[in-house]
């Protein structure tokens, strides 16, 4: 750990922060938003059935998805992080880092 350069430490820190944000988003979506969607859908189906019994009208209940309970800003941040990961496949930054360190390669 002590032999790492400042650039390597900042890269590790940035990657860890990204992973924490992605993990928190997935936990929020998979646990709590899913639970809220199940409860809401159950309530909607129940009220639709009761209304159909007393009102005589048959209608299909509107179902909710877990993403409906997620904050739009959180979705944008996650998309930006994932989009940024896709852009990192450009190796020019890594090549420049190797040249700065003076490492030799086949080029």
CB 94 within 8 A of CB 62: no
What's the gap between Cα 104 and its chain centre?
A: 38
Inside any domain, residue 23? yes
Q: What is the pLDDT of residue 66?
A: 81
pLDDT in tens, 44-101: 888 887 777 777 777 777 788 887 887 788 778 777 877 754 344 567 787 888 888 8
Beta carbons within 10 angstroms of residue 48's beta carbon: 17
Question: What number is the average pLDDT over the span 1-24?
Answer: 86
Inside any domain, residue 102? no
Assessment of whether the complete model's pTM goes beyond 0.75: no
CA distance 22 to 27: 9
For the four alpha carbons of 89, 84, 102 and 9, in that order, the dihedral sign comes to negative
Q: Is the pLDDT of residue 16 over 70?
A: yes
Domain of 46 in residue numbering reads as 6-77
Confidence class for position 105, pLDDT limits 50, 70, 90: low
Q: Is the pLDDT of residue 18 over 70?
A: yes
Inside any domain, residue 73? yes
Inside any domain, residue 38? yes
Number of domains in the chain: 1
Q: Is the pLDDT of residue 39 over 80?
A: yes
């Amino acid at each position: 750990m002590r032999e790492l350069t400042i650039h390597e430490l900042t890269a590790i820190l940035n990657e860890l922060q990204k992973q924490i944000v992605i993990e928190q988003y997935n936990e929020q979506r998979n646990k709590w938003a899913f639970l809220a969607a199940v409860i809401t859908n159950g309530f909607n189906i129940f009220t639709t059935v009761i209304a159909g019994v007393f009102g005589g009208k048959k209608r299909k209940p509107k179902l909710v998805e877990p993403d409906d309970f997620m904050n739009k800003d959180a979705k944008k941040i996650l998309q930006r992080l994932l989009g940024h990961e896709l852009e990192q496949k450009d190796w020019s930054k890594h090549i420049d880092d190797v040249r700065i360190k003076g490492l030799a390669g086949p080029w």
